[in-house]
Structures are given as structure tokens and as C-alpha cells.
Amino acid sequence: MFDDAYALYEDGRTYVEAEVAFQKSRASYASREGISGIIFALGALAFLHLALIGLVVGLIIALGPILGAFGATAAVVGALLLMMAVVGLVARSRFKHVSNAFKDSGGERTSS
């Protein structure tokens, strides 16, 4: 009986060691792939940024004959600032929602 209990203990110990090794290798793989994914996402965002710069320059050039150089620049910059303000206000609203969700509601929290 003692030998069976000892064999069961050894099997359990072997299982735990194998499981720990598996989880370590899985975490290592996930971190490598995650970092690689972040690097490629940043590269994609860099190319998107360059494309948007090209679009802005193209809009200024295309509107130049109609509005003049300074008018085209002012129109494009004004439109971008307007879009920035709208997106910024939406972002601020979302952050306020999150902030309100975590505020203390007058001591009504219950302790566990």
C-alpha cells in the first residue's frame, strides 16, 4: 500500500512538473507572438499615417487652383481641426463614462 501511495505521489509530481513546463512554453510563445503582432501593428499604423499625410497634401494641391494656396491650406487644416475636436469630444465623453463607473457612489459600497 505504501508503494502505491508513493507511486501516486511521484506520478502527481511528474504531472505538475510537466504542466508547469507546458504553461511556461505556452506563455513564452504567446509573448513572442504578441510582441511580433504589436510590432507589425505599429508598422501598419506608420504606413497609415504616411498615407494620410499624402491625402492631406493631395487635397491641398487639388484645392489650390480653386481656393488658392493659402485658402486650400486653411480649408484642409480647418477640416482636420474640426474632425479632431469632434473625435476629442467623443473620447472625453467615453473617458467620463468610465470615470463615473468607478466613482464612489456616496458610501453605498459594501465590503466583503
Whether 15 has a pLDDT exceeding 80, the answer reads yes
Q: What pLDDT is stored for residue 110 in this prediction? A: 53
Residue 52: which of 24, 88, 79 has the closest Cα? Answer: 79
pLDDT for 109: 52
Q: To 10 degrees, the CA torsion angle through 49, 51, 53, 59?
A: -150
Query: What distance in Å separates the CA atoms of residue 61 and residue 58, rounded to the nearest whole number?
Result: 5
Closest residue by Cα to residue 61 from 49, 74, 75, 72: 72
Element (H, E) at 90: helix 69-102
Interhelix angle 69-102/2-67, nearest 10 degrees: 150
* Res. 16: pLDDT tops 70: yes
The number of beta carbons lying within 10 Å of the beta carbon of residue 76 is 19
Q: What is the predicted pLDDT for the residue at 103?
A: 84
Least confident of 16-20, 63-67, 97-101: 97-101
- Mean pLDDT, rounded, of the chain: 89
